[in-house]
């Protein structure tokens, strides 16, 4: 019997969405519905040969992989996972496979967050629930400037929606060219120019050595006091403590966040006490279409590995 452990199934959907019967009776699937770390995680995985990780909800550093003596296949949703030490996995003989994405849910969520922040939805919803009426004026997107930090697949998909709202779009990233920016419908500027000009700054970068801590106290100080910061990429791209201080001091108008340094966000986190930030629990990829694709590919990955021909294998750069 080959044991499979599916981690962090918060919504109790893995059993329903995965066609696990395709694997046959020689496979047993266990679903973990809450986040575990340390010894409880090791105990839950035990001698499982296959582990399914939901994005970066659970980290797999070398020290954890070395203690999972039975692990042969680690499947992650998506085709990149910064929380897995791929070099260590390869050295330990663990195959890591990914899955395709089924929708642009992150782009849709980014616009939901932008609108929620600019239109003061969090504050006004809370005000109505305590009996108040129209405490704040909402902002407008028409005529405003959207600053995109990163203009890849997701950043590029932001542009036509911004244009539909009547926004000007400027963009910056370390390798972005004027030609690529113009092709996407944006104008290339320096990072400093973007931060100083944008009414909404939206981050669309992968987390790496060059992007970690990219937006810190100095960058937040360059933003307009009337501007909003939106992050649906990865939490550590923004210095979280510097952002808390900027929000506390009203150095910027507000923020809208879907990603954090530690996830799930701790119950005593200072962001939870601020009314000028909209918070969502890393929902960008958690859509019906994405999850349906993820679990179809997860089963495909396990079948392919079991037959000796693994697919969508992830390797260290």
Poorest-pLDDT segment among 53-57, 173-177, 179-183, 298-302: 53-57
Residue 215 DSSP label? B
Q: What is the pLDDT of residue 287?
A: 87
Task: Let me know if residue 314 belongs to a domain.
Answer: no
Q: What is the pLDDT of residue 171?
A: 98
Q: What is the pLDDT of residue 82?
A: 87
Spot the catalytic one: 263, 288, 293, 312. 263
Task: Please give the Cα distance from 249 to 62 (Å, whole number).
Answer: 40
**Residue range(s) defining the domain that contains residue 39:** 2-102+287-306
Residues in the chain: 317
Task: Let me know if residue 317 belongs to a domain.
Answer: no
Spot the catalytic one: 49, 234, 240, 293. 234
Residue 236 DSSP label? G
Residues 165, 22 share a domain: no
Query: 143-158 burial by CB neighbour count: b if 16+ within 10 A, else e?
Result: ebbbbbbbbbebbbbb
Task: Let me know if residue 316 belongs to a domain.
Answer: no
**Three-state secondary structure call for residue 5:** strand
pLDDT tens per residue across span 139-165 = 999 999 999 999 999 999 999 999 999
Spot the catalytic one: 282, 288, 293, 312. 282
37 is catalytic: no
Task: Let me know if residue 267 belongs to a domain.
Answer: yes
**Three-state secondary structure call for residue 284:** coil
Q: What is the pLDDT of residue 288?
A: 85
Residues 139, 242 share a domain: yes
Q: What is the pLDDT of residue 100?
A: 87
Task: Let me know if residue 84 belongs to a domain.
Answer: yes
Residues 176, 43 share a domain: no
Q: What is the pLDDT of residue 306?
A: 96
Number of structural domains, the chain? 2
Q: What is the pLDDT of residue 285?
A: 86
234 is catalytic: yes
Residues 158, 270 share a domain: yes
Task: Let me know if residue 312 belongs to a domain.
Answer: no
Residues 170, 37 share a domain: no
Residues 273, 295 share a domain: no
Task: Let me know if residue 315 belongs to a domain.
Answer: no
**How does residue 316 score in pLDDT terms, banded at 50, 70 and 90?**
confident
Residues 236, 170 share a domain: yes
Ordered DSSP codes for 34-96: S---HHHHHHHHTT-SEEEE-TTSS-B-HHHHHH-TT--EEEESSS--TTB-HHHHHHTT-EE
The helix (run of H) or strand (run of E) holding residue 301 is helix 288-306
Residues 154, 96 share a domain: no
pLDDT tens per residue across span 36-70 = 999 999 999 999 999 999 988 999 999 999 999 99
**How does residue 33 score in pLDDT terms, banded at 50, 70 and 90?**
very high
Residues 295, 250 share a domain: no
Residues 129, 84 share a domain: no
Task: Let me know if residue 313 belongs to a domain.
Answer: no
192 is catalytic: no
CATH number at residue 81: 3.40.50.720
Q: Which residue(s) pair with 30 in the sheet?
A: 5
Residues 196, 122 share a domain: yes
Residues 138, 93 share a domain: no
Ordered DSSP codes for 120-173: THHHHHHHHHTT----S-----TT-EEEEE--SHHHHHHHHHHHHTT-EEEEE-
């Amino acid at each position: 019997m080959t044991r499979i452990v599916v981690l962090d199934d918060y919504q109790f959907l893995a059993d329903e969405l995965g066609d696990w019967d395709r694997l046959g009776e020689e496979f047993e699937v266990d679903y973990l519905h809450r986040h575990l770390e340390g010894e409880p995680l090791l105990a839950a995985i035990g001698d499982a040969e296959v582990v399914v990780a939901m994005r970066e909800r659970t980290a797999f550093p070398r020290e954890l992989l070395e203690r999972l003596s039975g692990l042969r296949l680690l499947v992650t949703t998506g085709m990149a996972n910064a929380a897995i030490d791929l070099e260590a996995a390869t050295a330990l003989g663990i195959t890591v496979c990914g899955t395709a994405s089924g929708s642009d849910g992150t782009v849709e969520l980014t616009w939901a967050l932008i609108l929620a922040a600019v239109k003061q939805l969090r504050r006004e919803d809370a005000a109505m629930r305590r009996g108040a009426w129209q405490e704040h004026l909402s902002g407008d997107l028409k005529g405003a400037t959207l600053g995109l930090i990163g203009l890849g697949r997701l950043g590029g998909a932001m542009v036509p929606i911004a244009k539909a709202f009547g926004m000007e779009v400027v963009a910056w990233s370390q390798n972005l060219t004027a030609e690529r920016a113009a092709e996407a419908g944006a104008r290339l500027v320096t990072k400093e120019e973007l931060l100083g000009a944008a009414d909404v700054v939206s981050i669309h970068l992968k987390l790496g050595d060059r992007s970690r801590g990219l937006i810190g106290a100095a960058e937040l100080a360059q933003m307009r006091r009337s501007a909003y910061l939106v992050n649906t990429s990865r939490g550590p791209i923004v210095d979280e403590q510097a952002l808390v201080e900027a929000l506390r001091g009203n150095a910027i108008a507000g923020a809208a966040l879907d990603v954090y340094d530690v996830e799930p966000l701790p119950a005593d986190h200072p962001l939870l006490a601020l009314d000028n930030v909209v918070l969502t629990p890393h929902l960008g990829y958690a859509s019906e279409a994405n999850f349906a694709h993820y679990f179809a590919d997860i089963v495909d990955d396990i079948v392919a590995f079991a037959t000796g021909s693994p697919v969508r294998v992830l390797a260290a750069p």
